Amino acid sequence: MIRRFETYAFLPGTSSGSEERLATVLAEAGRYISEVLYCAVGRNLSDAPARLVWEHAFESAQSYQRYMVHPYHVEMIDRYVLADSPERIVEAAKGAGLFGYHCEDISRVSSCPGRRVVLLDIEPAATADAINALVDKLGAEAAAGGAVATGAGPNTLATTWFDGVNPLPIPPPKWSHVWEAGYLSLPDAETPPSLAISPVRRFRELRYELVD
């Protein structure tokens, strides 16, 4: 399964009505595109430069590829987000952009109304054991803070966003891994101790609640 996220900041002067319209268009993608297995929009509560977070999922790279050329994507989503669209309202240079990871199941995380998503820049020399130990520590810390479920994986979609498989000829992603936790009620903002030590070089956290 492909777990995919996009974050959006808005151009200066964008009306609240236009922001709501984009949020609605994104939230309804799963209604019109059968390949979208899960779809939700959240409002960012952290200090990261993004207003909306759109999360969704696909069964396979093939279903993701069909989504990319679906008429709803082309006619409804692209009109608000592509740089060459006269109706664009988002500021692509801000926010975390597009990221995601492969996983077996997202049902426990996606059933929660509150999210913490942490983008991690992990040392390239870090071993698999060190990364797994970090994920385990983050999971334990999140559970102690009320998290119902967690998920994590390498940020594979940052460089394969076109078809979900083939890397694009672009620089390595700023964030190497994605970690997330689902909450029934978001706790107060607090940086887990594990984020301030090796093998984490830097991180960015998104905290958001899903829009009904």
**pLDDT over 80 (residue 148):** yes
Number of other CB atoms surrounding residue 31 within 10 Å:
10
In the chain, the domains with their CATH numbers are: 2-210 (3.30.70.100)
pLDDT tens by residue, 56-108: 999 999 999 999 999 999 999 999 999 889 999 998 666 668 999 999 888 88
* Percent of the chain topping pLDDT 70: 97
**pLDDT over 90 (residue 197):** no
- Which whole number is the average pLDDT over 190-210? 86
The pLDDT, as a whole number, for residue 94 is 64
Q: Which among 23, 26, 177 is positioned nearest to 101, based on CA atoms?
A: 177
- Which residues are CB-contacts of 89 (< 8 A; sequence separation ≥ 6)? 10, 11, 14, 18, 19, 22, 80
**pTM (2 d.p.):** 0.92
- Which whole number is the average pLDDT over 191-197? 77
Asked if 29 and 39 touch (Cβ cutoff 8 Å), the reply is yes
- Which whole number is the average pLDDT over 190-201? 81
**pLDDT over 90 (residue 49):** no
pLDDT tens by residue, 111-138: 899 999 999 999 999 999 999 999 999 9
φ/ψ of residue 180, rounded to 5: -145, 160
* Percent of the chain topping pLDDT 90: 74
The pLDDT, as a whole number, for residue 106 is 82
The pLDDT, as a whole number, for residue 43 is 92
Q: Which among 46, 55, 59, 63 is positioned nearest to 7, based on CA atoms?
A: 55
pLDDT bin (cut points 50, 70, 90) of residue 194 is confident
